[in-house]
Amino acid sequence: MQLNSFYSVLRFYHEKFDEIASTVDGAPLRKQADGKNKANFYLEGTDDEPERARIINPAVCGYLLHSKQAKQIERHIELFDLETEQVGEEAVFVTLGQPMMPVIPLLMDDRANYNEVSGLPLTDCTNFDVVYFKSELSAD
């Protein structure tokens, strides 16, 4: 049975090589587009099981972190090659519009099961005022 399973997987991979390669190669750009378009992000479940789905609502376009929080997850930022932007003396912005979008809410949203920091989720990333967020932003 194990050998048959192994050959079945190899046969499938051989028959669908181009389709698999295209899907895998295009995934980062699709995730980047999803982040820019504020697509649903599922903390649990999937779109085909709505009764079990936990979706970030309202959809966010990025997270604002205190510089101490950014320092706290610096290893993750480097490991996942996350794009960050310094937007004030003590504020760092992380947009979801980047290839590694799927890890950002899991690291930075306090609704995620095992987040590393509690960033401030932003629903409008076109023009935010750092002064406004300073009162809401705290270093964990």
**Residue 56 contacts residue 109 (beta carbons within 8 Å):** yes
3-state secondary structure of 111: coil
pLDDT value at position 135?
45
At residue 75, the 3 state secondary structure works out as helix
65 burial level (CB within 10 Å; 0-12, 13-18, 19+): buried
Query: What's the average pLDDT block by block, 10 residues per block, for the chain (140 residues)?
Result: 92 90 79 74 71 79 94 96 91 93 93 93 78 48
Cα distances (Å, whole numbers) of residue 18 to 8, 29, 35, 55: 17, 18, 26, 32
Name residues whose C-beta falls within 8 Å of residue 33's C-beta, 6 or more positions apart in sequence. 97
Which pLDDT does position 24 carry in this prediction? 81
Q: What is the pLDDT of residue 132?
A: 47
